[in-house]
Structure 1
């Protein structure tokens, strides 16, 4: 992936729970030949337990998670290879924090209607995020703004369609790697 003097591009696939961040991010990374990080893996056990019990995280809960994400983004950009991370990045202040690293950070916001997200999350098995926390994610969501580097993609379509749109936005259609 292209980069800057500060390193290679790190793509952050963002959105609310059940928007497809993990699926889209993993497929993008595979197609681009770069590392993938499931951002949820960096949550401390206490955060997972809090969410699983039906309580939304607050900014204090998110501090260690944000610190770990920030470090991964910094190291990945500096590696010269870039990468893709799936994380909610719901708040503008979090995205600004990632961009302040001086790295080439680019966002793919998977926009999803609340009803579609609720239907998806209700059918998901084995995930720590319960359906009753979905409203708290929409309440916290600051959609990607025009001055932020990235693209907003309607995530209501098939995973293949969303991945293709994200890859076109990140790389341009003429530079896509093979399947």
Structure 2
């Protein structure tokens, strides 16, 4: 989960590689109309976001022998609850970082349809993962490799307690 520029895709790709799992960038599942709206600098409303989240959820619930890691904003608790309706064992990675750090990252990259102007609206919408949501919160100041090690340690701790893990990030 997380705002643009928080490292969801980078961390997700590394994590999927370490797990031997499939990686999917949830942005690829957005319909063209959503991408066009965001490219024009318009934040998505729930009526546009919910069908996309259901598609992400269907992917999470798919049959992947080694699991799947999906990079998906899932900014609100209700969005993550919707994803859990599809995949009850959802494990959420919450990459935390300051708006200044993330804005600097965005200035150093280009994105197909997500302009930096939408960052503030994403922070305004963001509801951080709470203690009752299965997952882990990580500090994006750390290098991706360190972040992935923290995620793997959190997953291992749960695996030791007998819980299966599907990961979205």
TM range (shorter): 0.7 to 0.9
Q: Structure 2 unaligned segments of length 5 or more: list them.
A: 161-169
Q: Which residue of 2 aligns with 1:22?
A: 9
Task: Show the counterpart of 1:33.
Answer: 20
Residues 28-177 of structure 1 correspond to what in structure 2 (within 5 A)? 28-76=15-63, 79-101=64-86, 103-172=88-157
How far the C-alpha of 1:157 sits from its partner, in A, is 2.0
Question: Could you say what secondary structure the match of 1:96 adopts?
Answer: helix
SS of the residue corresponding to residue 117 of structure 2 reads helix
How far apart are the structure 2 equivalents of 1:127 and 1:159?
A: 22
Deviation at 1:102, TM superposition (A): 5.2
CA distance in 2, matches of 1:122, 1:169: 32
Aligned 8 A contact 1:109 1:153 in 2: yes
Alpha-carbon displacement from aligned partner over 1:118-171 (angstroms, at most 9, x marks no partner): 110111124321111000100110000011001111112222222222222222
Aligned 8 A contact 1:50 1:56 in 2: yes
1:35 deviates by 0.9
Q: TM-score, normalised by structure 2?
A: 0.87
| CA-CA distance at 1:68 after TM superposition | 0.7
SS of 1:47 mapped into structure 2:
helix
Assess if the C-alpha contact under 8 Å between 1:20 and 1:110 holds in 2. Answer: yes
Q: State how far apart, in whole Å, the 1-side matches of 2:107 and 2:19 are.
A: 31
TM-score (norm 1): 0.83
**Distance in structure 2 (CA, Å) of the matches to 1:50 and 1:109:** 25
